[in-house]
Structure 1
Amino acid sequence: MTSSAASMAPRESVETYIVQSGDTLSTIASQFGISTNTLLWANNLTVRSVLKLNTELTILPVSGVLHTVKSGDTLSKIASTYGVDQTEIVTYNNLDDDAALTVGEKIIVPGGEIQAPVPVSRPVAIKSIFTSPPTTSSTSTASSTGARMLWPTDGHYIVRGLSWYHTGVDIDCDGRANGTSTNDNYAAADGIVQYSGAKGGYGNTVEINHGNGIVTRYGHFYSLYVTTGQSVTAGTPLGRCGSTGNSTGTHLHFEVIGNGRFKNPLEYIR
């Protein structure tokens, strides 16, 4: 099926969408009720990809992965690869548990995720952890230092680290008593803003989808500069650091989430 607008009825098959003027990856995904990652994976795109008018996009009926069967594949192996239960694949595709798979056959893996690469941990001198922060909120344009991600704020003093009950790192913003600051927070890598607004204890929050299952979350902004659906590059100012939400002082709460699990941000930024 080919369409230029999403049908409101539940979809059961893969269809094709023609890119229209004003479309973005996130708005198309939202239009069809699937995740942005699902759209990226199905079309071999990245968050840096530029959508061109009249381009045909493959749209899955549910969030997940469209897998093309390769030699040696089994249902168990496919389920393990994408982190789902085999019965979910069997049920959704109307297969038998012991069904013989045909090379080249396409199978929908509902809820499946292409696993993000795990960064290689290596000893790092304490000094190097704090290099290359932007210097001022008005003039800095964070640049790559060869690390996977850039330091996400003007400040560079960590006031609280990762623990089993604290899902990110808190970085001081040299704030004022009234919860304001002269410092900005920045996108740690290229991506698409999947959320910008108030978010419970996080206060004013920005979430950026970087593709490959990686999302960064930035919390406690005083004010926000970006909107949901906006494409950003590494170093893009996201907002003014603050103390909104569940916060006892002006700081940035920064998280890295890989395939739905919290990661140690210091393995990704420097």
Structure 2
Amino acid sequence: MDNGDNKASLFSNLLKGYIEETSAYIETNGNQLADIGSLLAFNSQAPYEEDYGSDILDYNIGDQSLSAYNPAEANYIEVGRFISNRVSEYAVQQGDLLSFIASDYGVSINSIIWANNLRNSDSISPGQVLKIPPVSGVIHQIKSGDTIASIAKKYNANEGRIIEFNGLSKNAEISIGEQIIVPDGEIKSMIKAGTTIASANKPFAYLANLGDYFMLPTNGYNWGRIHGRNGVDIANSRGTPIYAAAEGSVAISDGVGYNGGFGQYIKIIHPNGTETLYAHGSKLLVSAGDYVQRGQLIMLMGSTGRSTGNHLHFEVHGARNPLAKY
């Protein structure tokens, strides 16, 4: 068996474990996992090799299979594709600004304010879970007497765009209680905030590519698939070193508690205003207030928080994630 076959076999085993454990998780929460067969068919080749080379794929990850869920993305289970009308959820972290969250997700500030009935952009707090629409606009829950035409009129939106975005036929019936996305819709009583445009099919892809500003924070198996807030998972054995992707100030170093699913985690604020987050560690090696250099050892890999295998959940806020496949 050649090296390519070995990688494909490794990925196949990882994906099988991921799907089996995800399926079990979904069943306990009353949700359904769509078309397991089609997900398994996705493993026909080792992914992302052409983008990231063989270095990051060749590392052993022991006997741990990866099945991790970002606390804000427990229902994001599709492998290899993004559901364009899916409402995401994000757990607010210490130091977050609504404007920064909106910018990362590529939607207007008002879209998040409307979706969560917030008073203003300052009314968020750590641990709060926000609904994030897939595009700028309004999340509308169908009420008695609603039609697509009346909804479009209410939010000053395009009827055809609503039909297309939600995958409806022109004369489709809509059910009371169902939620639909109204792209570019507005709630007139609110002052319109600035809008950031993103592709619904490629969230976070519009963010700036900073080239080699960020180094790879660790070695391991990289899925390359985005979940959470521009985050990617890298699997390896417990205790694998994790390094600062760029220099900056440690804003959070929390080694106690569940922390919304992150477990032991670190957040670093970099001189250019971007942030990186490192979650599920087994041991933290820096403290809040420390100034770290690019490549400095900051944490050891683990499986704390919402995780069933040793791995790093690595997020980049304000720029493209160097480990993501956009």
TM-score by length of 1: 0.41
TM-score by length of 2: 0.34
Greater share of strand: 1
| Larger RCO, structure (CA 8 Å, separation 6 or more) | 2
Greater share of helix: 2
